[in-house]
Amino acid sequence: MDKIIEAFHDGINKSGRDREKMCMVTDIAYDPEVVDYLGVDLFHTNRGRAIAFATGMKLSNPNLILAVFIGDMATLGGNHFVHAARRNMDLFVVCVNDFRYRKVAAQETPGDFSRLEFSSYCSIEQPLNLPHLARSNGAVYVARWTALHHEDLINSMAEALPQAGFKLIEVISPKPELLEFFYLNSEIKHGEDTAKVGIEEDKKIVVGKFVERERETFIDAYNKQHYKVLGDKFIKIAAE
């Protein structure tokens, strides 16, 4: 079973969240046994549309606990990511970052970039600093781990799941043969300024918990403003 899915399973247990109310929305293709293993409803969407789909689910039924698993470092659906964080939608987002970096900590990444599965043009772009993007747009919880930081990942998931608002955990998870390399070339810096956690060729990957704060959620703000305007005529969006 995928290490991130295993951590999510254990994180749910540790958080005490009700699996009967939890839905996993993803644009990543998971095998059917993942659904049975997690014991939650799973919805698979088009690439880059998982956050938008989960937002609609949350607004239609605030009782749901939405866990959103996205890939490609949010380069597809990035606009949905930004606005969900800005609005502080109550979503728990896990970004599975399987991007392949040419260098980490001034070391060449093991493997051959000329092989067909890695386009020779695939690594010319500046890596997206997703934790900083999340924090800048108002996320209430932001963390990053590699897939081999298993216990840390479980603890972060358990910590983030009960919090109200937009939560992000980025998980560095390249191909299996590279996991140990990325793990050994990372360093934990809790509370680090997210402007400084971008992935750069000459530095180790910074992991840890960077942000934890409280903000009014979108639904709470929506209810407050509409009640202010409409008074008792307004029917609130509310959980049971």
Query: What does the pLDDT look like over 36-94, one tens digit per residue?
Result: 899 999 999 999 999 999 999 999 999 999 999 998 778 788 999 999 999 999 999 99
pLDDT at 233 over 70: yes
Average pLDDT over residues 141-148: 96
CA 21 – CA 43 distance, rounded (Å): 14
Side chain identity at residue 117, one-letter code? E
Buried b (16+ CB within 10 A) or exposed e, 34-50: beebbebebeebeebeb
pLDDT at 109 over 90: no
- pLDDT score at 31: 85
- pLDDT score at 45: 94
pLDDT at 181 over 90: no
17: its two tokens: 């969240």
HSE of 169 in the Cβ direction (CA atoms, 13 Å)? 28
53: its two tokens: 């789909």
Average pLDDT over residues 14-22: 96
Three-state SS letters, the chain: CCHHHHHHHHHHHHHCCCHHHEEEEECCCCCCHHHHHHCCEEEECCCCCHHHHHHHHHHHCCCCEEEEEECHHHCCCHHHHHHHHHHCCCCEEEEEECCCCCEECCEECCCCCCCCCCCCCCCCCCCCCHHHHHHHCCCCEEEEEECCCHHHHHHHHHHHCCCCCCEEEEEECCCHHHHHHHHHCEEECCCCCHHHCCCCCCCCEEEEEEEECCCCCHHHHHHHHHHHHHHHHCCCCCCC
CA 11 – CA 149 distance, rounded (Å): 13
β-pairing, 22-26 vs 41-44, is parallel
Domains of the chain plus CATH, in order, are 3-233 (3.40.50.970)
